[in-house]
Amino acid sequence: MVIATTPDPISNTFAALADPTRRAILARLASGEASVTELAEPFKMTLPAVSKHLKVLERAGLIARGREAQWRPCRLQAGPLKDADEWIERYRRHWEESFDRLDSYLQELQQKEKKYSRKITKKEDKNGREN
């Protein structure tokens, strides 16, 4: 039996951000409110197609739509982006720590290699002079 579940908010955020058109819409809204027509201008798609993208963004809580007479402005709601950033930050720290450990290990190997190669290239007599 399959049980339908509602995705958690962060899953909705990442699903909405997965599409380049929606990311471009959010980038545009970062500079201020815009109507659906204004948001649709740079894209080669119909207004209903842009409206579908806006619905996905709205369901994810990334935008809010207002109503001022005939104009329905869209506004960026950055809260879910902050939540996604905080989630990603935990993993960024993990990878940075992993890379730092790898860097230390590589430096250790390089030092051993230099030390070993010096022993091979320098053959010294008992008085410390090279032969």
Handedness of CA 20, 60, 28, 41 (dihedral sign): positive
Q: How confident is the model over 26-43, as pLDDT tens digits?
A: 999 999 999 999 999 999
Strands (DSSP E) contained in 6-73 are 63-65
Q: How confident is the model over 1-11, as pLDDT tens digits?
A: 555 555 788 99
For residue 48, being part of any structural domain is answered with: yes
Q: Is 68 helix (H, G, I), strand (E, B) or coil?
A: strand
Whether 47 and 93 map to the same domain: the answer is no
Whether 72 and 104 map to the same domain: the answer is no
Cα–Cα–Cα angle for 91, 93, 96, nearest 5°?
110
For residue 59, being part of any structural domain is answered with: yes
Give the domain CATH number at 20. 1.10.10.10
- CA 61 to chain CA centroid, Å, is 18
Structural domain range at position 93 = 78-121
pTM of the predicted model as reported, rounded to 2 decimal places? 0.68
Task: Provide the pLDDT for residue 60.
Answer: 95
For residue 45, being part of any structural domain is answered with: yes
Count of domains observed in the chain: 2
